Structure 1
């Protein structure tokens, strides 16, 4: 049934003009907040795409970097059903995203590189940057994006110019900034499960040419829609019921003030606040039957959980920045000072089911809590002005983040009088990460058609984790945590650099080549302290990346960009399981990868716009000495392991290890396809009727380090539809929409020990209204 549904959908999309879709990749300037169809309604061409991938505003066709752009309006379309930044997954070639800890912990992967670690202090090789501020902690990476102008995805190492070294790439969110003309915009939608979204912004001058303001806000809500069918007596007070999981409330606001006291000085002061409450990820225990990959038998909207109070989570985040630019004529000095703080928790039934339904065995719940987190960043950058043959920029960057994180295990939550109750079953950690770097880049046009660019950065990255409160037994007696592991410090000192060449074949086509070296600093995994086992650590990893590409726009109606790449990550940081099923860090000798990615935008006539993107990648872990613990419960392997295995003892417990040499990196899809088409039908001089559709598909994706018959996804499909009316001037739009219209149930994550599955978002059908006022 599932295969026939996909075949019908793909055949329909191949009919092109009969199946409309929305243009997905950027087809409007970076400062333009309208969709491609609205922005270019009076023009049969695609328009220029402007990016800041090299910290300057440039045409995307002349940037020697593999970069994709999603416009703000297109992102809001993908999020109309209540989705967050994970909606980008499958919309950009080479980009993948998932979570197993709810909306507060997204994990991003670019060109197959990411991190499956669910630890609150996990290091990620993909860097998130919002309005030029790097967001390092995993909770900060979940800061919602709203009132967005453009999203840029920079693929490959980006160590030279951006705040933190990254081996995989950068996702850069740029919101609409204050301007000297009053304007506003809003997008509102309402759909299934009382899913409501309101994304709006308004701004303009307070004192003409001197002070401007912009106020932006986001509200998202979904009712609980998943039933907890458990009817027994819970040992921690959890109660079943109808519609008790799956909902969320997201409330966010941002205020920006732009001061321009002189023509050469501008200061943008920004502050934001976030309040979030919702449900953490729901794990469906036993959804993956041993030896099978079929998840269709497990209902998405029902589960029996006997612990964890129906998986609540909530966070509050505050932050601000001062972005000042002083133009000296020959050069501009930019200073970016930023502060972020957050606190909150996430609790979950980690076995994903009621023990009574599984022979009375297997109970588990945990909670991660950030008591306090403070992140300070400071960047100074001096960059040449003008459009001459020689361009340069130099600067420095300082990063400081400190947090207090706690982890609670099952015994802490049990009711008074329970024989297994242990109110001391929790730990507290203090984490400190400081880093400084100096960097520079120069670009020189050697000939009329040839430009060379080179950049370099030197970084020192220091990390320290201290166990300040160890777990104890119920009586409160002294813990037995190893003294030598209570305070761990790691330091990484590495250069990063890149060299690229861009050659203009003719005014419609450019080719480029790029070599880049990057690194990710060392990592400490402290969560294992809650099981009274030592911290695990991983040394710095380094990457050498090579890519070449072509950027063409033969006519104003057609644009095609493509690139091929290969890379090697030495001492790659990986994450597996220990004897408790808890994440543990280790390094493998290296991992190799090669692949291609391409994006096509085409407007054959004024009323039709197509976009098509795709990527293919091969990744391979290379280290015959590295083994990963496999799925196991009660001393028994619970899945079908396809790799060679050996028995072992870990922390005094029996285990089975699999050799992972030659395996693909986890969550690295072999291929991805995204397609979109939009068809506008003029009705009169008052407006247009439009129909649109967008699709993304995902090839074989292994979700763990070892190969099994259960823990992978293959052929995942999601389709969106939208139909409505736009006024002739493009100011208003009213539409009906559907996200995941076929209600595909796709596997997005697993909990290995319990053969538990994590599913994608359900079908959301609704209506939307948007408007803009200039």
Structure 2
């Protein structure tokens, strides 16, 4: 089996490199496509390096989503998790549902569910970093492009980007009057409306207003004895808006962006003993629209966030000065039945489904949060062989987190409380320098100095588990700080007009992290800074006279002192640890094809292999599962040699779009399929908490037509065509609790664009 895997991997890499470098040798196919030569793939312009550039010429492993792909993926009221497995080496999961997405790039991420958790994958929206996990869940609407930058992005984007970066750019105002409106209706009473309108207010001032409203009925029935009730969980009501004003003078532009979100919904549904003991199968009798909670009436998830940014840009002929000032704020309260069942083992057999050692109902909230950022940069616009960007960045965050425990068996009364306060101050200076060494060879170097400091306190005023000998009241504090110099060096070589080669070496770091959710534990843990060195090389090629595009990258990285979170285990408590060394390697293939005038396709594939190397690293294990790792003398699982959690080795995605002129318009059909291989939910390995491979497909078909100045579209769509249900996450400290992916969703949409 191992030999076959190596052979397959080698074959794929060799085939990819050959097809790209030898793109001009596809003579037969090129001749067949000559008649439709003007039906070529569009040039994708990206801002991965804070300049507008052709994606095929940027020496960074980057993928972009836009147009039909982006529209199809985000249909059916999907939250940001729609991007999971849609881009090479990218996966996204959450134990909070529509909020708190956790991003993983090339296997690097963070499973921590604490509201203070940091991640090695940064999210940047409209050029503003979204640091807190709740900010990362802002709905996706009226977005022009999504970019995913893989590998360390430590020079231009800085702290907390050792794995990569996800970048969203909303549609900007323009002088042209335009807009759209789209409404869909689907399964479980789901309604999804989004729209935007914009245009010139004066000859220099324009605006754009974008809105979103998504709602879905509660549809999950509760069948716990004594708590029976219909339609209690699974629903949400989400509203969001964005308003932008753009001023365009002769040598000056200013963009003001205000955005707001309001979510009133239910948390993801935890299901007690969902996993069959001794396997990773879902138990017989599982039904997606039934749960057995005894605290479902208390379940809620409420999120409010807002932000304001001001981008000012001065064109000074040979230089551009850019200032981006931003404020972000988020509030959340989320309460859930964490054990996923009813009763407990000591209640005269009133428990289920399966063994429930004790009830677990808790909530976490952010009552107060503010993030302030300021970036100032100077970019040259020389016509010669040298250009540069230099700048500075300031970051301030004030955060308060509350954690609550409730005694479900006593009617849901509060029996535990703790809070955290954290102030973060960070600053950086950076520079990136581009050299044209010849007509075909370009060199880019970058360096960034970052300084980071946190001031943290936590206090528990009531212990929900007094039998463990811990006092009701306790406090903890931490004041970690660090500074680091990140850097990168890349070469881009133009092999010919259609093929570009690049090589890149980069260093990145993540500042120290703190885990102080001491509601169920007695210690504040701190993880030291992690650093990564990465090397990658690849080709970006246009083939078949512009009707095909093949991009491929191979990479290797070593991370020192990787920050890891020991989630759950012997208690509902997280601990931060550092691993001595983590290595990873793999490849990424990203392709697009114009097969005929009526048929377009994309195919993406990635392989990621990660391995922990630390003989002394060990963590507590689950309460009920079957652990397959060796245990040390203290009963802890030894992690040396393990792969990282939620890190699938294989990710693949395929799309196919067919269009045909029909009558006064166009009929279209679009299908997409995504696959990710098996994953471990936790740092340790176990039989039950190993997620099976997941394959999901979607289909969208409809009709476009023009009438007057408007473009209309009607369509029907389905997500998760085969209604395949798999366990995608677990809770390990109580029973074999699991969460599943979304069920099949069927809907119809009407959309109008006006100009």
TM-score by length of 2: 0.90
Give the C-alpha shift of residue 174 in structure 1. Answer: 0.2
Question: Do residues 80 (structure 1) and 58 (structure 2) align?
Answer: no
Question: Do residues 454 (structure 1) and 445 (structure 2) align?
Answer: yes
The 1:170/1:115 distance shift into structure 2, 3 A limit, reads same
Question: Do residues 289 (structure 1) and 276 (structure 2) align?
Answer: yes
Matched with 2:499 is 509
Say if 1:85 and 1:145, in contact at 8 Å, map to a contact too.
yes
The 1:603/1:132 distance shift into structure 2, 3 A limit, reads same
Match for residue 338 of structure 2 among 350, 375, 382: 350
The 1:100/1:472 distance shift into structure 2, 3 A limit, reads closer
Alignment of 1:27-42 (within 5 A): none
The 1:507/1:42 distance shift into structure 2, 3 A limit, reads closer
Give the C-alpha shift of residue 472 in structure 1. Answer: 5.2
Say if 1:281 and 1:311, in contact at 8 Å, map to a contact too.
no
Matched with 1:409 is 405
Give the C-alpha shift of residue 362 in structure 1. Answer: 2.0
Match for residue 696 of structure 2 among 699, 718, 723: 718
- Tell me the SS of whatever aligns to 1:645: coil
Give the C-alpha shift of residue 531 in structure 1. Answer: 2.2
The 1:388/1:296 distance shift into structure 2, 3 A limit, reads farther
Say if 1:203 and 1:214, in contact at 8 Å, map to a contact too.
yes
- Tell me the SS of whatever aligns to 1:61: helix
Question: Do residues 613 (structure 1) and 604 (structure 2) align?
Answer: yes
Tell me the distance in 1 between the aligned counterparts of 2:278 and 2:739. 18
Matched with 1:34 is none
Give the C-alpha shift of residue 487 in structure 1. Answer: 1.9
Matched with 1:7 is none
Matched with 1:55 is 50
Match for residue 572 of structure 2 among 570, 577, 581: 581
Say if 2:705 and 2:711, in contact at 8 Å, map to a contact too.
yes
Tell me the distance in 2 between the aligned counterparts of 1:494 and 1:427. 33
Question: Do residues 536 (structure 1) and 525 (structure 2) align?
Answer: yes
The 1:578/1:474 distance shift into structure 2, 3 A limit, reads closer
The 1:332/1:125 distance shift into structure 2, 3 A limit, reads same
Matched with 2:721 is 741
Tell me the distance in 2 between the aligned counterparts of 1:482 and 1:706. 32
Matched with 1:732 is 712
Tell me the distance in 2 between the aligned counterparts of 1:174 and 1:643. 43
Match for residue 393 of structure 2 among 380, 393, 397: 397
Give the C-alpha shift of residue 433 in structure 1. Answer: 1.2
Give the C-alpha shift of residue 79 in structure 1. Answer: 2.1
Say if 2:477 and 2:524, in contact at 8 Å, map to a contact too.
no
Alignment of 1:364-763 (within 5 A): 364-411=360-407, 415=410, 423=414, 425-468=416-459, 470-471=461-462, 480=471, 486-527=476-517, 529-554=518-543, 555-576=545-566, 577=568, 579-632=570-623, 638-648=624-634, 656-684=635-663, 686-727=664-705, 731-753=711-733, 754-763=735-744
What does the per-residue CA deviation read over 1:432-489, in whole Å, with 9 as the maximum and x for residues that have no partner?
A: 11110000000111001000001111101111221255325899xx983786x62211
Say if 2:152 and 2:162, in contact at 8 Å, map to a contact too.
yes
Say if 1:72 and 1:148, in contact at 8 Å, map to a contact too.
no
The 1:303/1:482 distance shift into structure 2, 3 A limit, reads closer
Tell me the distance in 2 between the aligned counterparts of 1:707 and 1:372. 37
Tell me the distance in 2 between the aligned counterparts of 1:240 and 1:277. 23
Give the C-alpha shift of residue 728 in structure 1. Answer: 5.9
The 1:726/1:116 distance shift into structure 2, 3 A limit, reads same
Matched with 2:87 is 92
What does the per-residue CA deviation read over 1:194-232, in whole Å, with 9 as the maximum and x for residues that have no partner?
A: 111112111111001x11111001111111121111232
Matched with 1:65 is 60
User: Unpaired segments of 5 or more residues in structure 2?
Assistant: 1-35, 344-350
What does the per-residue CA deviation read over 1:61-92, in whole Å, with 9 as the maximum and x for residues that have no partner?
A: 10000000000543232221111110000110
Give the C-alpha shift of residue 153 in structure 1. Answer: 0.4
Alignment of 1:80-229 (within 5 A): 80-162=75-157, 164-208=159-203, 210-229=204-223
Give the C-alpha shift of residue 348 in structure 1. Answer: 0.9
Tell me the distance in 1 between the aligned counterparts of 2:692 and 2:360. 29
The 1:245/1:482 distance shift into structure 2, 3 A limit, reads closer
Say if 2:144 and 2:171, in contact at 8 Å, map to a contact too.
yes
Say if 2:521 and 2:573, in contact at 8 Å, map to a contact too.
no
Say if 2:256 and 2:308, in contact at 8 Å, map to a contact too.
yes
What does the per-residue CA deviation read over 1:10-43, in whole Å, with 9 as the maximum and x for residues that have no partner?
A: xxxxxxxxxxxxxxxxxxxxxxxxxxxxxxx995
What does the per-residue CA deviation read over 1:473-522, in whole Å, with 9 as the maximum and x for residues that have no partner?
A: 899xx983786x62211112111111000000001000000000000011
Tell me the distance in 2 between the aligned counterparts of 1:549 and 1:251. 42
What does the per-residue CA deviation read over 1:268-296, in whole Å, with 9 as the maximum and x for residues that have no partner?
A: 01111111011111111111122111116
Match for residue 330 of structure 1 among 310, 318, 321: 318
Say if 1:480 and 1:532, in contact at 8 Å, map to a contact too.
no
Matched with 1:38 is none
Say if 1:131 and 1:175, in contact at 8 Å, map to a contact too.
yes
Matched with 2:307 is 319
Say if 2:569 and 2:621, in contact at 8 Å, map to a contact too.
no
Tell me the distance in 2 between the aligned counterparts of 1:755 and 1:424. 24
Give the C-alpha shift of residue 701 in structure 1. Answer: 1.4
Tell me the distance in 2 between the aligned counterparts of 1:240 and 1:147. 41
- Tell me the SS of whatever aligns to 1:77: helix
Tell me the distance in 2 between the aligned counterparts of 1:773 and 1:360. 57
Tell me the distance in 2 between the aligned counterparts of 1:403 and 1:756. 30
| Greater mean deviation of Cα atoms: 351-360 or 118-127 | 351-360
Matched with 1:35 is none
Tell me the distance in 1 between the aligned counterparts of 2:177 and 2:318. 31
Tell me the distance in 2 between the aligned counterparts of 1:695 and 1:578. 34
- Tell me the SS of whatever aligns to 1:309: helix
Say if 2:190 and 2:217, in contact at 8 Å, map to a contact too.
yes
Give the C-alpha shift of residue 606 in structure 1. Answer: 1.2
The 1:359/1:604 distance shift into structure 2, 3 A limit, reads closer
Give the C-alpha shift of residue 53 in structure 1. Answer: 0.5
Q: How many residues matched?
A: 704
Give the C-alpha shift of residue 257 in structure 1. Answer: 0.7
Tell me the distance in 2 between the aligned counterparts of 1:449 and 1:294. 55
What does the per-residue CA deviation read over 1:600-654, in whole Å, with 9 as the maximum and x for residues that have no partner?
A: 100021110010001011100110100011111xxxxx11111111353xxxxxx
The 1:503/1:474 distance shift into structure 2, 3 A limit, reads closer
Tell me the distance in 2 between the aligned counterparts of 1:532 and 1:709. 27
Say if 1:748 and 1:757, in contact at 8 Å, map to a contact too.
yes
Matched with 2:26 is none
Tell me the distance in 1 between the aligned counterparts of 2:128 and 2:90. 21
The 1:752/1:360 distance shift into structure 2, 3 A limit, reads closer
Tell me the distance in 1 between the aligned counterparts of 2:122 and 2:320. 25
Give the C-alpha shift of residue 372 in structure 1. Answer: 0.6
The 1:719/1:310 distance shift into structure 2, 3 A limit, reads farther
